[in-house]
Amino acid sequence: MAEESVKLLGYWASPFALRVKWALKLKGVHYEYVEENLPNKSPLLLRYNPVYKKIPVLVHNGKPLAESLLIIEYIDEAWKQNPLLPDDPYERANARFWAKFFDEKCVPEVMGAFASKGEEQEKAAKARENLKMLERALEGKPFFGGDKIGFLDIAVGWIGIWGRIVEEIAGVSLIDAETMPLLTAWLNNFLEVPVIKACIPSWHELLEHNKGFHKILTGSST
Amino acid sequence: MAEEVKLLMTWSSPFALRVVWALKLKGVQFDSIEEDLSNKSPLLLQYNPVHKKIPVLVHNGKPISESLVILEYVDETWRQYPLLPDGPYDRARARFWAKFSDDKVSPSMWGVFIKQGKEREEAFDQVFENLKFLEEELKGKKFFGGEKIGFADLALGWIAERVCVLEEIIGVKIVEEEKFPLVSAWMQEFVKVPIIKESLPPHEKLVTKIRGIREKFIGAA
């Protein structure tokens, strides 16, 4: 049988690529990582993701897939060990619902707080409001996936890192331990899980990278 | 145990229609509950407190929101007439095109519908770029799902169901057969499928309603 080939086109500072790395690691899948130089996208990336031209892209035996959450569902179906989504259709629907909520209602608000000049506090307040809603999906469990990490944990988990970076650079509060005790506790647990922790990029490098990004987004003139 | 399936919807919502199509294709009996979105019912607010939107599917008292999430639930719960294909890669591709519909095609179509002048020209460029990808995907296929309609067809089906309404209102052809022969053929075949055909909202009523939405939007700008 031909050897299986799994390639991940990513970017070291991308939380979306990190999600996919976490999924692959949790499943114990061996893969080749290809770092894209984002301002200068490779012909390979453009060929593999002509629609969005973005990373992450997973290429499994030559077949490309884009969009991080879709890639994670694919990984879950292609490799059956250590399931990421629960068995029950209703619980699967809940996991998908909250992942979508996070991407559509939390992430843009966090990005808004980061990119805004003058409206950071407003946007951060909205982000906090929406992030707080995620606690409904925790419902007294240690992880969104229950006793173990699952789909929703790896979909949302990066907010623990990038959220703190936005807080520091933009001078806002996003994850507030007082008003979001469950989310805070979950993040602290999640980011300490060895296989999760091992993939996280250097805090210092990420901070410097995003400081530069912030300058560009908010305009270099003061 | 008697199964109880309710769908909170509106007659004109393309998102609700996706769910109607899925349930009908699978032969699932359901009660439709028409919501008045200007006066949302306590039931809707209870079942979808996060978004307060339709469609909401309620299966034996358990609510599910977001049309594509509902479609996956319906497909996993009722196994007859599978909407998603078997293999993981083909399933991922079907999900990809469904997401593409909501992320790219829908907003670009809205742009063409409400913008005017140069802005509308630019919106058209976006629409054409998106349609080119769909045209490419349809090569060698009758439907996105292959020989029969599937998940991606239901997600993209609003194009077949609604573009003619938008074209009638703005008085401009959006999907030209010459430019997009495969997409045009798919649109015609899709609305011919019996379940789809019998579920189409009444045309004149829809035109009136959507024309009203456009006028309100342009008036408010």
Q: Does the structure show a pLDDT above 50 at A222?
A: no
Any CB–CB contact under 8 A between B96 and chain A? yes
Any CB–CB contact under 8 A between A141 and chain B? no
Position A1 scores a pLDDT of 40
d(CA B83, CA A110): 35
Provide CATH 1.20.1050.10 ranges for chain A: 89-218
Q: Which tens digits make up the pLDDT trace of B34-61?
A: 999 999 999 999 999 999 999 999 999 9
Closest-CA residue of A relative to B75 is A89
Q: Does the structure show a pLDDT above 50 at A83?
A: yes
Q: Which tens digits make up the pLDDT trace of A116-166?
A: 888 999 999 999 999 999 999 998 899 999 999 999 999 999 999 999 999
Are residues B73 and A93, on separate chains, in Cβ contact within 8 Å? yes
Are residues B89 and A96, on separate chains, in Cβ contact within 8 Å? no
Are residues A93 and B59, on separate chains, in Cβ contact within 8 Å? no
Whose tokens are 């979950």? That residue is A186
What's the mean pLDDT in A57-62? 98
Task: Give B146's DSSP letter.
Answer: B
CATH-assigned architecture of domain A6-78: 3-Layer(aba) Sandwich (3.40)
Are residues B73 and A63, on separate chains, in Cβ contact within 8 Å? no
B194's CB contacts (< 8 A; 6+ apart) are: none
d(CA A124, CA A127): 5
pLDDT band at A220 (very low <50, low <70, confident <90, very high): low
The ipTM, to two decimals, is 0.96
Are residues B88 and A77, on separate chains, in Cβ contact within 8 Å? yes
Distances (CA, A) of A26 to A23, A76, A88, A193: 5, 10, 20, 11
Q: Does the structure show a pLDDT above 70 at B221?
A: no
Q: Does the structure show a pLDDT above 60 at A221?
A: no
Provide CATH 3.40.30.10 ranges for chain A: 6-78
Distances (CA, A) of A222 to A114, A168, A215, A218, B78: 16, 18, 10, 9, 58
Closest-CA residue of B relative to A77 is B88
φ/ψ of B68, rounded to 5, equals -70, -35
Any CB–CB contact under 8 A between B32 and chain A? no
φ/ψ of B197, rounded to 5, equals -60, -45
State both tokens at B129: 């770029």
Residues of B in contact with A60 (CB under 8 A): 89
Are residues B95 and A73, on separate chains, in Cβ contact within 8 Å? yes
d(CA A80, CA A57): 20
Selected residues 37-56 of chain B with any CB under 8 Å from a CB in chain A = 50
Position A99 scores a pLDDT of 98
Q: Does the structure show a pLDDT above 90 at A52?
A: yes
Distances (CA, A) of B138 to A43, A147, B109, B165: 24, 43, 19, 23
Instruction: Give the nearest partner residue to A97 out of B66, B88, B96, using CB atoms.
Output: B66
Any CB–CB contact under 8 A between A66 and chain B? yes
Are residues B92 and A96, on separate chains, in Cβ contact within 8 Å? no
What CATH topology corresponds to A89-218? Glutathione S-transferase Yfyf (Class Pi); Chain A, domain 2 (1.20.1050)
**Residue B140, min C-alpha distance to chain A (Å):** 19
Closest-CA residue of B relative to A67 is B96
On whether the CB atoms of residues A175 and A159 are closer than 8 A, the answer is yes
| Predicted structure pTM score | 0.96
A86's CB contacts (< 8 A; 6+ apart) are: A92, A95, A145, A146, A150
d(CA A48, CA A72): 17
